[in-house]
Amino acid sequence: MDVDAAWLPAEAFRAVGRRRSLVPAGGLVDTVRRELVDACERFGGRVVREDAELVFELTEGLGEEGFALTRRDGITTVTASDERGLLYGLFHVVRLGEEAFAGDRPREEHRPAYARRMLDHWDNVAVHPVMGQVERGYSGGSLFWADGRARGDWERVRAYGRLLAACGINAVTVNNVNVHETEARLLTDRIGDVAAIADVLRPYGIRTHLSVTFAAPVVLGGPPTADPLDGAVRDWWARATDAVYGAIADFGGYVVKADSEGRPGPFAYGRSHADGANMLAAALEPYGGTVHWRAFVYDHHQDWRDRGTDRARAAYDHFTPLDGRFAKNAVLQVKHGPMDFQVREPVSPLIGAMPRTRLAVELQVTQEYTGQQRHACWLGPMWSEVLGFRPDGEVSTGRLAHELVAVSNVGDDPFWTGHPLAQANLYTFGRLAWNPAADPRAILDEWIALTHPGADDRLTAGLHTVLDGSWSTYEKYTAPLGVGFMVQPGHHYGPGVDGYEYSPWGTYHFADRDGVGVDRSTGTGTGYAGQYATPWSGLYDSPATCPDDLLLFFHHVPYTHVLPSGKTVIQHIYDTHFEGVAEVEEARRVWTGLAGLVEPARHARVAERYEEQLRGAREWRDQINSYFLRKSGVPDERGRTIY
């Protein structure tokens, strides 16, 4: 198979493959066994029945998916209470390499922070005339689907499952939340296609989920209504779900985008989103399935003239009154920020405001607004910040929500992710979902070491350099100070400062000749800041205490407003935009210097992307700077060229 090995090159298994290993048989453990057999074939070890140096054992007390590692008397032992725990333990040993076999090690226990660590694929079965095969996909076609049918490349799906297991992901939704005509039928007569994917992913501890349309009964020949309180509708869903579990016994459940951006939902019948979600939850409940109900509900027919309506408020305003009304197996899936995966947003105030509801936080691994895998932008630090946020301002090592979900960045591209360095985002998401308290930079180094076994210091340092600061770099040359959007409408790539300024989508910056930003304060603004608990509401409510990087998200300020740095807002805009481009130039220079140390095709692909990133960064810099110079009339203090 002509696909990149990503973070599982054969060489990464050298330490394991040199050992005599003992592993029980049966079920998912066979996946562990197969990994060991393959590695030993290559590196000279053996899978044995006794006298092993590496022992895998099932035992009690470690919980679902957890595992422990010890090394004593020359024997490294992985114990777990279920088979998935052994699988995760194996990949832990792979990550440790020779270190797992050097001297004694005190017992260490590992348990996932989030029980469900899920990837949503926005993959269409039939090519959508505007959105293509994969909506917001920047990595070619879909792994699962091609031109209206199952793609049937099961070796690649298997390799994908293996990569996901190695970073800890245990649930996958196989189709886009925007469910069109062809995709609707996956629920019924085309469930076999889903079952085939589930069969391939199951050995890697991954459960399969399905996006469904709320209008399924209507569009699939059931009752002429989708009213969630209608008995015939409930029966239809119960029967449909029976059939799904007949085909996939460990099916994970449904994902639904309802009453959002034109999708059908319970509003049409005067029912609440709790009514809608609970109907599906009831159908899934007998089988232990879950419905993921997306909270991305807002008015996308807003009037830009009306400064009182605020899209940022929508999810909170809409869902908090429903707290406590969702079934136990209904999960409300909330985007991490109140808008839509911008390079910088505050954490959604909905998170923390629904204590009696199961919440999943949704991140976006696919780089829709962060360079679309043509720009290097490693999102680990952003996610780490989000996952470390506590609605009450307290420090805690616990979870931010009940589950973690992300939109996949993978396609049929030979490098999986279009930009080879974007593999790091997928890996980091999985590892943070397991342990959100981990230092993202340590995860980055882990990814570097696994992906490039035997890398010398120069390569390791170079890779770390170009990725570590890349999110900050991207932020510098795009929309400033948390204001967001300023992208081209539709495809969302490249600058369009006023692209959404007079649009019905509710995404504004209100720049005029005097200042810029959205007043979301409680006094003079939309009141959004008041949706937060103390201390955040107070901090965000005043320009004096609002964090710089969110200043324009919360406040409309004059261009002459002075930031804590001592710079005015306008000078900050100019400076960061020049800096951002300089940082891309530097990253490109570093990358060029790694030629010869990285596999040539990979090096060439990344080098190409840097050309485009540099072109794009300059375009962003010049459009943003020119826009604000033309509007403010304030010249750059340093006299640089602004067009």
Residue 522 or residue 623: which is nearer to a second copy going by CB? 623
Q: Least distance to a second copy from the beta carbon of 324, Å?
A: 40
Q: Which of 82, 193, 368, 519 is catalytic?
A: 368
Strand partners, 146: 149
Indicate which single residue of 129, 231, 398, 564 sits in contact with a second copy (rule: CB under 8 A).
Answer: 129
Q: Which of 340, 446, 519, 583 is catalytic?
A: 340
Q: Is residue 385 flagged as an active site residue?
A: no
Give the span between the Cα atoms of 338 and 319, in whole angstroms.
13
Q: Give the full edge-to-edge strand order of the sheet including 105-110.
A: 46-47, 20-22, 54-58, 75-80, 67-72, 105-110
Indicate which single residue of 267, 287, 304, 493 sits in contact with a second copy (rule: CB under 8 A).
Answer: 304
Interaction residues for a second copy, span 594-633 (CB under 8 A): 619, 622-623, 626-627, 629-633
| CB-count burial class (<10 Å; 0-12, 13-18, 19+) for 50 | exposed
Q: Least distance to a second copy from the beta carbon of 459, Å?
A: 37
Helix (H, G, I), strand (E, B) or coil at 192: helix
Phi, psi of 101 (to 5 degrees): -125, 20
Give the span between the Cα atoms of 486 and 479, in whole angstroms.
6
Residue 104 or residue 512: which is nearer to a second copy going by CB? 512
Closest CA to 376 of 122, 614, 142: 614
Q: Least distance to a second copy from the beta carbon of 146, Å?
A: 17
Beta carbons within 8 Å of 505's beta carbon, 6+ residues apart: 300, 302, 311
Give the span between the Cα atoms of 160 and 426, in whole angstroms.
11
Q: Is residue 368 flagged as an active site residue?
A: yes
Q: Least distance to a second copy from the beta carbon of 304, Å?
A: 7
Q: Which helix (H) or strand (E) holds 37?
A: helix 29-43
Q: Least distance to a second copy from the beta carbon of 616, Å?
A: 13
Q: Least distance to a second copy from the beta carbon of 134, Å?
A: 16
Give the span between the Cα atoms of 495 and 477, in whole angstroms.
10
The two tokens of residue 253 are: 């459940």
Asked if residue 359 lies in contact with residue 351, where contact means CB atoms within 8 angstroms, the answer is: yes
Q: Least distance to a second copy from the beta carbon of 630, Å?
A: 4
Q: Is residue 340 flagged as an active site residue?
A: yes
- Quickly count: other Cβ atoms within 10 Å of residue 356's Cβ: 9
Q: Least distance to a second copy from the beta carbon of 509, Å?
A: 11
Asked if residue 370 lies in contact with residue 344, where contact means CB atoms within 8 angstroms, the answer is: no
Closest CA to 241 of 281, 182, 184, 194: 281
Task: Read off the DSSP letter of residue 7.
Answer: T
Interaction residues for a second copy, span 475-534 (CB under 8 A): 488-490, 495-498, 502, 511-514
Interaction residues for a second copy, span 305-364 (CB under 8 A): 305
Total of chain residues touching a second copy, rule CB under 8 A: 26
Residue-by-residue DSSP string for 592-633: HHTBTTB-HHHHHHHHHHHHHHHHHHHHHHHHHHHHHHHHH-
Q: Which of 181, 242, 261, 608 is catalytic?
A: 261
Residues that bind a second copy (CB under 8 A): 129, 304-305, 488-490, 495-498, 502, 511-514, 619, 622-623, 626-627, 629-633, 643
Residues designated as active site? 261, 340, 368
